[in-house]
Amino acid sequence: MARARKKAARKTSTRTKRASAGGRTRQQDAIALLKADHRQVEELFEQFQSTRSDSRKQSLAQQVCQALKVHTQIEAEIFYPAFLEATADTDIHHEAEVEHDGAKKLIAEIEASGPDDEYYDAKMTVLSEMIKHHVNEEEKRDGMFAEARSSKMDLKGLGERLAQRKSELMSDSGMRAGARRQAEPQSRRRRAVGGVYVNA
């Protein structure tokens, strides 16, 4: 009886250790991580489309732009080169790169403007459509992700590299945003009134 209790306790302890170790070290593979990014951005676009508040729109647009900049950078630096090396599929690779370039130009325009720009909502709508197309190209049955899965790519190792680089980029951008907020009260913002700049 006592032996059976000890055996059960050992099994429970082993399961607990495995579960906690899995919780600490469990990593998404590259494709799962990139798909999670896609879902996050889709959700932000939906929130943007459903709000009427200009300040909320600007906040959501900034979140979309930041998420897309980080996502496209980790793909371009890590995933795309590995995909090209493993598959030699230049058609899919080059199309993805060109789509990234188009999105980057629109992101820069959105970041440089605000809800008072009469084209702001239109630019966000077009960016959303561009990203939907890009996501479909990557996730469809014969798309980049399917080809990556059937290749010899180390998707687990790439997932770890993508997660690490994503974390670096997000902390860098967070530090820059914090520095901008801290500096703003010191260098008082100025606005144009009748062509003359005055302190806001």
Structural domain that includes position 116: 27-169
What's the pTM? 0.74
CB 123, CB 110: distance < 8 Å: yes
Long-range contacts of 112-117 (CB under 8 A, 24+ apart): 114/54, 114/58, 115/54, 115/55, 115/57, 115/58, 116/54
Q: Does any domain span residue 22?
A: no
Q: Which helix (H) or strand (E) holds 161?
A: helix 155-186
> Rounded to whole angstroms, how far apart are CA atoms 34 and 30?
6
Residue 137 domain flag: yes
Number of domains in the chain: 1
Residue 76 lies in a domain: yes
Please give the structure tokens belonging to residue 13.
Answer: 């302890």
Residues in the chain, total? 200
Q: Would you write out the chain's pLDDT as a tens digit for each of its 200 residues?
A: 445 444 444 444 444 333 333 333 457 899 999 999 999 999 999 999 999 999 999 999 999 999 999 999 999 999 999 999 999 999 999 999 999 999 999 999 999 999 999 999 999 999 999 999 999 999 999 999 999 999 999 999 999 999 999 999 999 876 455 434 433 333 333 334 444 434 43
Q: What are phi and psi of 196, to 5 degrees?
A: -115, 135
